Chains A and B, each alone.
Chain A
Amino acid sequence: EAEVAQSPRYKITEKSQAVAFWCDPISGHATLYWYRQILGQGPELLVQFQDESVVDDSQLPKDRFSAERLKGVDSTLKIQPAELGDSAMYLCASARGPGQDEQYFGPGTRLTVT
């Protein structure tokens, strides 16, 4: 069964350092999402891609966060510089399209900023 891949699974970094997360969606899925989930809360959307284009990044803190999906397949989410408040689970999800389709989630990257 096809799955969304994410790496690394765990990341510990010091504040002010740069960190990057990678996501490979299910083959053929045009829509890709990055979510941030703070402990004890539900996921919050950071950015949504349709193919290689950003559809929604209204909740992405653009002063320190960036995301790209250059070829419309895999995607990278970067934080520079990391802050203590960025400690969270970062989840990637993909869907066939932006409509009613179910979103398939990857295992997530748990980030700890010290």
Chain B
Amino acid sequence: AQKITQTQPGMFVQEKEAVTLDCTYDTSDQSYGLFWYKQPSSGEMIFLIYQGSYDEQNATEGRYSLNFQKARKSANLVISASQLGDSAMYFCAMRELGGNNDMRFGAGTRLTVKP
């Protein structure tokens, strides 16, 4: 069974600083995808970044990068140069590419950016 663990219920970061949000996962599959989503207070889930299990390079999307350590089964999200608008819930998710491909989410981390 898949399991996604986000150990930080809440994180604070100073504006313009970088922050790392932790995510570990558990799977016996070799082929899977890892996702990070942002959920502002308005409720919609906004896709941020994707990492495939066979991707050798860490994914990057603008100020977002994914620190993928396959042996440790971790997929931490790094946000550089934090902005006040980054304050939101952040969810890590994984989808095994066999079976039904359904996505499993972690419990989330609430990030607060301080001015």
Contact = CB atoms under 8 A, between A and B. Distances in A.
Contact of B105 (A43, A55, A89, A107): A43
Contacts, number: 57
A40 B47 CA distance: 19
26 contacts: A33-B103, A40-B107, A40-B108, A41-B107, A42-B106, A43-B91, A43-B105, A48-B100, A55-B100, A91-B45, A98-B101, A99-B97, A99-B101, A100-B33, A100-B50, A100-B97, A103-B35, A103-B47, A103-B103, A105-B45, A105-B46, A105-B47, A107-B42, A107-B44, A108-B44, A110-B43
B47 A89 contact: no
Contact of A48 (B91, B93, B102, B105): B102
B107 A42 contact: yes
A89 to B, nearest CB: 6
Given A45-B102, A102-B35, A102-B50, A89 B43 contact: yes
A22 interface: no
B27 to A, nearest CB: 15
A45 B44 contact: no
